[in-house]
Structure 1
């Protein structure tokens, strides 16, 4: 654990101002929270009239929880010695920009506090059962990198991330509008479950060597780099095949085939990892993986909206 001394920090954070704090939220990861809310609402429009107050409340709460989770990640990676000035990745606000760890932790807890207030409004408009579900999701967000055994250090990180930040948000967004969860809403959420997990897997493929040195037991480490890349490709394939299976089985319309437009990003992401071992060389592949989830989710939502408005 690294001590929090004044000599560890520079005035860079003050000089860069809001840009440092914007980077701290890891903005390109926030689509992992935005897309599920949009998709859950696109599913709900087929069942009921959309309550836009609930939509925007759910969207804001999800973005704040995602940003807070990223801050917890920043804090604990520093405390455990994983981050330094030479680290490659989207973190480094502490080691490179001079923000104090305590400030980051307080900011994360503050975002959680705001999310709870928004959650009260959501519960008042829908169901108080969501209070327990929301609090559980927030605890998982903290335990993802916090606590004695962080989820991110285990082989189960992809499953937890995919379920809570993918399927979970979709189903909650659907439930607060409709008042129930349907078989179709669960089935349509599965590809996002997979693709959000793929984002974490891509991160773990990039950090495989460093994570191994620090004793992590991620799925990428257990499988090995080559097999982890195969798994990533398989996750992309299953996501697209799943949508076409739903179409064939009558659970969705042909409009959802629009997701094929995101296939080039999935191919770029997979190819970007092949033959690479240096973390910075794999950054474009990581970015393409996140973009695949974003574009896939947007297109899936568009397909659902088109199905509703064009009969």
Structure 2
């Protein structure tokens, strides 16, 4: 594989979005770092597996959006490798399936070692990922994108990573997934708001189309605001350490994103990069949150 071709495959994996899966899994694992049961091997394998699975979904999403006329030359497609003719449909589908298989094999190994609960959570995640835009469910095209992203990239991943280490589910493990899950959902929602015109033309229904642009903007702002509110509440109730308030350093970026959408005048080119900027915000917030838990665990 040439360097240029490798760059195209990396672009198709949408690196800016991969923190969406890496952070909730890392969060669930790091949260139990001080426990004797913690396994660095399981921790690393879980992150590798989930990144491969998300990258595979990104490839398959490019494939499905193109064949369903959701991504076109005049739309803001997620990676653009197919629309621009840089990779063929066969390329993206084949590599998406390859990444899916490798990610699943690692997941099966973890399920074999740590029990049926991991297998069940993994199956739910893979099914939702594959059929997010894949036939016959086409979940995203039916307005189910946002709730599915919240559940999969929130409670499911964090609970799975926590169970992988501790062999149990707890309310605390569920609650700690909420702030970053809200920010991850905002990434997808920003994408949907930007693409409303093209999605309507393609005949698909996203949440943004169902509720209209004005209400969609309110939902985006609410997702961002609730992420910070839930963080503060969990610090108060000691689900997170006080050091986790360091995440408030990302507030200026959050406010900029909200204002950018508010001042966009409904024009997609004014928010062409809002999904990436939302991904950057989620990444910064998540890394600071994990760092705060890590530092509090080793003190």
| TM-score (ref. length: structure 1) | 0.90
Structure 1: distance between partners of 2:135 and 2:285: 33
Residues 1:224 and 2:207 aligned together: no
Correspondence for 1:136 among 97, 103, 124 = 124
Contact in 1 for aligned 2:191/2:274 (Cα 8 Å)? no
> Is the alpha carbon distance of 1:146 and 1:46 closer, same or farther for their aligned partners in structure 2, counting shifts above 3 Å?
same
Aligned partners of 2:256 and 2:263: how far apart in 1?
13
2:189 paired residue among 201, 213, 218: 201
Q: 2:270 aligns with which of 272, 278, 281?
A: 281
State how far apart, in whole Å, the 1-side matches of 2:37 and 2:121 are. Answer: 24
- Taking the TM superposition and a 5 Å limit, the aligned residue runs for 1:131-170 are 131-170=119-158
Distance 1:85 1:217, change over 3 A: closer
Q: Which moved more, 1:135-144 or 1:209-218?
A: 209-218
SS in 2 for 1:28: helix
Contact 2:53 2:104 in 1 (8 A): no
Aligned residues of 2:142 and 2:204 also touching (Cα < 8 A):
yes
Partner of 1:298: 287
Looking at structure 1, the residues matched to 137 and 164 of structure 2 have their Cα atoms a distance apart, in angstroms, of: 33
Q: How does 1:1-311 map to 2 (within 5 A)?
A: 16-276=4-264, 277-310=266-299
- Larger mean Cα displacement after TM superposition, 273-282 or 31-40: 273-282
Instruction: Indicate if the aligned counterparts of 2:179 and 2:228 stay in contact, CA closer than 8 A.
Output: yes
Task: Give a deviation string over 1:217-263, Cα, whole Å, max 9, x none.
Answer: 21111222222111111111111111111222233321121110111
Q: Tell me if the contact between 1:268 and 1:285 (Cα under 8 Å) persists in the aligned partners.
A: no
Rounded Cα–Cα distance in structure 2 between residues aligned with 1:79 and 1:235: 31
RMSD over aligned CA atoms reads: 1.8
Worse-superposed segment, 181-190 or 92-101: 92-101
Distance in structure 2 (CA, Å) of the matches to 1:220 and 1:267: 21
How many angstroms apart in 1 are the aligned matches of 2:262 and 2:43?
40
TM-score norm. by structure 2 comes to: 0.93
Q: Distance in 1 between matches of 2:298 and 2:232?
A: 21
Unaligned runs of 5+ residues in structure 1 are 1-12
Task: Give how far 1:15 is off.
Answer: 8.7
Q: Secondary structure at the match of 1:81?
A: coil
Q: What is the CA–CA distance in structure 2 between the aligned matches of 1:48 and 1:291, rounded to whole Å?
A: 33
Aligned equivalents of 2:178, 2:35: Cα separation in 1: 19
* Corresponding residue SS for 1:195: helix
Taking a change above 3 Å as real, the CA distance of residues 125 and 274 of structure 1, as seen in their structure-2 partners, is same
